[in-house]
Amino acid sequence: MHVLALLWTLVLLLKEAQAWGFRNGIFHNSIWLEQAAGVYHRESRKGRYQLTYKEAKAVCKYEGGKLATYEQLEAARQIGFHVCAAGWFDRGRVGYPIVKPGANCGFGKVGIVDYGYRLNKSEKWDVYCYNPNSKECGGVLTEQQKIIQSPGFPKEYQDEQICYWHIRARIGQRIRLNFLEFDVEDDTSCLADYLEVYDSYDDVSGFAGR
C-alpha cells in the first residue's frame, strides 16, 4: 500500500459495534492519546487544538469520565505524564503537564504550564479527561519498528475494549503493517470486533480500510 501520510491511525474497536463519524456531535471527532493515573489527553480528529470547552466536556462525559482537575493532572505528571499540548481541564482552565524541561515545550519550566481560566469558552484546545476506570489503551508510536499488542496478550481482550494507536512518520517515509497474529470475534460483516486503518485525521477521506 502506498503511504504518503504523516500519521496512521489504527483503531481497534472491540465488542461494541458503532459506526465511525459523529455521535452526539462529539465523540468520534476525537482520538485517544496518552494516559496516566486515570488522566488522558485527547485531541480532535481534525488535528491539534480543535475542541471548544463545551466539546471537550462532552468528549470526557461520553466515556463516563470528566474533565481532569488541576490536582489530578499534577498527580499524573508526578508519575511521568508529559504532554506538550495545551488542553482544557476542570472549570475552564487550560494548560499541560511537563516532566522534563525543554526549549521548545513549556518555556523551560517543569510542572503544569497553566494558561489560567479562559474567559472565551469558544477557544479551541485539546482536552485532559479523568476516568480511572477507562478501558481504553493505545498511544503514539514514533519508533522505526514496534510490535503492537492488545492488553493482556496472548489472553483475550476485555469486552468493550477500545484501543487507538497513532504511528507518526516523517514526510516521504512509508509505514508497513505486518500482522503476526490476529484473532477477533467471528463476524462476517466485521461489525462486532474489528481493526480500522486511517491515513489521516479525517474520518472519511482518511479511511484506508477495515
Confidence at residue 94, expressed as pLDDT on a 0 to 100 scale: 98
Mean pLDDT, to the nearest integer, of 113-118? 96
pLDDT of 36 above 80: no
Lowest mean pLDDT segment, chosen from 47-51, 137-141, 206-210: 137-141
The per-residue pLDDT for range 164-184, each reduced to its tens digit, is 777 877 888 889 999 999 888
Concatenate the DSSP letters of all residues of 131-179 into one string. Answer: -TT---EEEEE-SSS-----TTTTSPPPTT-EEEEEEE--TT-------
pLDDT of 114 above 90: yes
Tell me which long-range contacts 138-144 makes (C-beta under 8 A, separation of at least 24).
138/10, 138/32, 138/33, 138/163, 138/164, 138/165, 138/166, 139/33, 139/34, 139/165, 139/166, 140/33, 140/34, 140/166, 140/168, 141/165, 141/166, 141/167, 141/168, 142/167, 142/168
Q: Which residues make Cβ contacts (< 8 Å) with residue 61, sequence separation at least 6?
A: none
Tell me the whole-structure pTM to 2 decimals.
0.57
Query: 101: cis peptide before it, omega within 30°?
Result: no
Mean pLDDT of the residues in the chain: 76
Spatial contact of 46 and 29, defined as CB atoms under 8 Å apart: yes
The whole-angstrom distance between residue 7's C-alpha and the CA centroid of its chain comes to: 13
Grid cell 455521535 in the structure block, residue: 23
pLDDT of 196 above 50: yes
Spatial contact of 163 and 141, defined as CB atoms under 8 Å apart: no
Helix, strand, coil percentages (3-state) for the chain, rounded to 5, are 15, 30, 55
The per-residue pLDDT for range 55-65, each reduced to its tens digit, is 999 888 877 78
Q: Which residues pair with 93 in a beta bridge?
A: 89, 117
